[in-house]
Amino acid sequence: MLENGPSRWMGPPAPKSFSIVTRVLQLITLILVAVWVLKYLGGVALTPKRINLLTNDTGGIFNWHPLLMTLAFPVLMGEAVLAYRAPVASNLDRDQRKLLHALLQIIAVVAAALGLVAAFQSHNLKKPMKIPNVYSAHSYLGIFTVVFLGLQFILGFTGFLYPKYSKANRESLAPYHIFLGRATFILGLATMAAGIQEKTQFVSAAKKLSGSGLYSGAMSLPAVIEIFLALVGLAVMYHHVPGPSNRREGDTLLPDVLQDA
């Protein structure tokens, strides 16, 4: 029989206090992005703002993009990566952690999809001229990340939930599932950082900022957000530091996703 607790080959879980710090970092990141969007970028909207007969402002539609992507990656994907090692409720059993992991992934996929829709809609509905789609490093990184997210979701769902592969196939798939999950999380954070920097450059150019204006809240807050993205990434991944020296005789070497096999 395989044990029900966290896999010992990964070492002991991070201290509970550190897991709390990780959640605080995630929450602060989401709050900072919300402040940036609502205070400095003009807030959110579901429809274009009409300026005159031939001109509109789709910035409010676009602003859903950073909010939803922050929810999708540093928050939901981060929690999905933590679901086995340090779930919000530490008394969850293996099956409950597995269900939590899957649910977080599903909501993250939905949030990311809505974030993409917001970005494309804001570009396509812009008047008098549409804004081009997929032309920057941020865009290309975003496509790469979305592909990873889709693969991770499909492999995870079909392999470990339904129809659920055989034990032998799950053993073969597990390392790739784990890799894709962590890689997607890190790619998402990197793509967000690139997008924030791109948006900051647009804001600077639109407002013709120079000199002391470059230290305004509209410019400095995004820099702080990028630092918090890095901190969230480091904090989440620290929970998965391997510790083979902690393995005792008889302990399983199977990854977490296989310990209910």
**Model confidence at 14, in pLDDT bands (50, 70, 90)?**
low
Nearest CA among 94, 75, 87 for reference residue 16: 87
More confident: 146 or 8: 146
List residues bridging with 252 in a β-sheet: none
More confident: 95 or 206: 95
The fold of 14-258 is: Four Helix Bundle (Hemerythrin (Met), subunit A) (1.20.120)
**Above 80 in pLDDT, residue 209?**
no
Q: Which residues contact 150 (CB under 8 A, 6 or more apart)?
A: 109
More confident: 111 or 89: 111
Q: Which residues contact 23 (CB under 8 A, 6 or more apart)?
A: 88
**Above 90 in pLDDT, residue 188?**
yes
Report how far residue 142's alpha carbon sits from residue 137's, in angstroms, rounded to the nearest whole number. 8
Q: How many CA atoms lie within 13 A of 240 on its CB side?
A: 18
What digits encode the pLDDT tens for the residues 120-173?
999 999 999 999 999 999 999 999 999 999 888 888 888 888 888 888 888 888
**Above 60 in pLDDT, residue 256?**
no
In the chain, what percentage of residues exceed pLDDT 70?
85
What digits encode the pLDDT tens for the residues 44-81?
999 999 999 889 999 999 999 999 999 999 999 999 99
Amino acid at 93: D
**Model confidence at 258, in pLDDT bands (50, 70, 90)?**
low
Amino acid at 212: S
DSSP for 86-106 reads S-SSTT--HHHHHHHHHHHHH
Q: What is the pTM of this model?
A: 0.85
pLDDT at residue 257 in the model = 56
Backbone angles phi, psi at 129, to 5 degrees: -140, 135
Burial 29-52 (b: 16+ CB within 10 A, else e): bbebbbebbeeebeebbeebeeee
Residue extents of the structural domains in the chain: 14-258
Q: Which residues contact 102 (CB under 8 A, 6 or more apart)?
A: 156, 157, 160, 161
* DSSP 3-state of 50: strand
* DSSP 3-state of 83: coil
**Model confidence at 241, in pLDDT bands (50, 70, 90)?**
confident
Asked if residue 10 lies in contact with residue 240, where contact means CB atoms within 8 angstroms, the answer is yes
pLDDT at residue 3 in the model = 36
pLDDT at residue 1 in the model = 30
pLDDT at residue 120 in the model = 96
